Structure 1
Amino acid sequence: MTFPQISSSLATSNARVANEPATNVYAPASQTTALLQSGAQFRRERIEAADMISTDDAAGVAGTTRVTINAWIKAGRCIGVSNLRRGFRLPSWQFEPSIWPAIKNISANLNTNDGWRLLAFLETPREALDGRTPRAALEQGAAIERILALATAEAH
């Protein structure tokens, strides 16, 4: 059995690239440096945002101690991101009744207690949520099961 010969500029281009030795496969150091600097700048800005509070303030909001807040962060029960100076900063909105009960399960389904990863998950718009963030979806009454399914999918 013979198959028809397919010819396209894309196929020719791909074949040529596949047969040529790889050159410039890595980003230049200047691009890598710029990317790392923009990430660090984003983190600084996010830590300093108005909705971020100290562990002492979080303890006051939650009616507990700073030591308990730190234990919750370590266990993934609470979102805390490393402060550049020392300690943690926490998004105050996580203590809202629509969010607080979900944090522990989201952490478990994402298989992480890393505050940046939890924060990014909750603040990134999702197609599956009609462009809303998981945080906004929870605040608007979305089923926790839907958010947990997205967390599980992202973890894999």
Structure 2
Amino acid sequence: MTHAVTKKTGTPAGVAQRSAATGGFGGAAPASAQADPESPALAALLQQVERAVRAAYSTGRPTQLTVRLQGPSSQVDIDVEPLSADALPADIEAEQALLGALLYDNDGFEHLGPALTAVDFYEPFHQRLFAAMEDAWRSGKLAEPILMAEQFSNDAAFRELGGVRYLADLVDRAPSTTDVPTFAARIGGLALRRRPPAEDELEAALRDARARGEARAAEVLAAPDMLGADDFAGLIGATRETVRQKLKRREILGLQGAKRGVRYPAWQVTRDGGLLPGLPTVFELLGDSPWAVFRFLTQPSPALEGEAPKDKLRRGKVAEVLDLAESQARGDFG
């Protein structure tokens, strides 16, 4: 099939200037959680997130799943959020080139084979256009710009892209029919990358997150400054029962381990033998997770001139630390 047009170079206007709706797997609001990596709470948390992810995947929106463990507290951050159009791998120009080549010469369909389908296109209108052209070709009909324009005359996206002028631009810039397999392979390959991870990949991500949390927790608890109850009681000149009561009142920080029992950081005892001031308030602000409080206290912060909150508390700078804890409790992490 030939056309009385002169082919040009460049990209047709339209698609590049509009945000394409995308196909793929589901989206959901971001989720973030903190948990003791060795407690049953983490297992319950991961099960909850996994259910949320699977439900999100069913909504038909592209989704990114991220499972991270941060800092010495092994904070677990699990994000399930929609991907922006810009974040998805696509090549609009390749789609335009392929469609243009097929519009210019319908015999190009013979070079495609069954592998490429309409859903492999990123731009929704391109999906509909390819499907209509393929149907026409398989029915022995002509798929050319004027006929396609008539078929899509009531399509809002088609009108937004420029109508018949858009189709004419595709033809004007169409590559040779011999290039059809190359562009088809490019489009099909990107479509595969946009598809959701397999179920076993999700399970692997959650399993790896749990393993990293357990490994990091074991590393923290094995540090020489992590004391057992007897040693910590001796350090502060108290009995084991007193230590237990102070732990219950959140006056001291204790981290539960799977094998070692509760371990107490020695750095929470000041040089004069006292306990870190302000610790109960830190717990009130950040919640009851000892690992979350441990992470907060040990992580250097730009808001504290690069110091860790525990070092500020040891010097009596309670107000600065509580301001930071309150800020983080509000979600102000900048």
TM-score by length of 2: 0.39
Question: Greater relative contact order: 1 or 2 (C-alpha under 8 angstroms, separation 6 or more)?
Answer: 2
Going from structure 1 to structure 2, the CA distance change for 1:65 and 1:32 (only over 3 Å counts) comes to same
Equivalent position amino acid for 1:102 in 2: G
**2:248 matched to which residue of 1?**
74
8 Å Cα contact 2:229/2:263 also seen in 1: yes
CA displacement, residues 31-59 of structure 1 (integer Å, 9 cap, x when unaligned) = 21111100110000100001100011111
Deviation of the 1:111 alpha carbon: 3.7
The separation in 2 between residues aligned to 1:131 and 1:9, in whole angstroms, is 44
Contact kept in structure 2, 1:94 and 1:103, CA below 8 Å: no
1:101 paired with 2:107, answer: no
1:90, distance to aligned residue in structure 2 (A): 0.5
The reply on whether 1:149 has 2:323 as its aligned counterpart is yes
Matching residue's letter, 1:81? L
Structure 1 segments (4+ residues) deviating >4 Å: 7-11
- For residues 6-155 of structure 1, what are the structure 2 equivalents within 5 Å? 12=19, 15-16=21-22, 21-22=60-61, 24=196, 28-85=202-259, 87-97=261-271, 100-112=276-288, 114-139=289-314, 141=315, 143-155=317-329
Structure 1 unmatched ranges of 5 or more: 1-6
> Rg larger in 1 or in 2?
2
Question: Are residues 12 and 126 of structure 1, via their aligned partners in 2, closer, same or farther at CA, if it must alter by over 3 Å?
Answer: same
Mark the runs of 5 or more structure 2 residues left unpaired by the alignment. 1-13, 27-59, 62-194
Structure 1 residues 9 and 48: alpha-carbon distance in aligned structure 2, compared to 1, 3 A threshold: farther
- Name the CA distance, whole Å, in 2 between partners of 1:138 and 1:11: 53
Residue identity matched to 2:309:
P
1:146 & 1:17 partners in 2: Cα distance?
48
Counterparts of 1:109 and 1:82 in 2: how far apart (Å)?
A: 20
Q: Deviations over 1:94-150 (max 9, x none)?
A: 0115862232232233243x32122111012222123322123334x4731110011
Contact 2:255 2:264 in 1 (8 A): yes
Q: Is the 8 A contact 1:72 1:78 kept in 2?
A: yes
Q: 1:95 to 1:8 in 2, by over 3 A?
A: farther
Asked if 2 retains the 8 angstrom alpha-carbon contact of 1:73 and 1:115, the reply is no
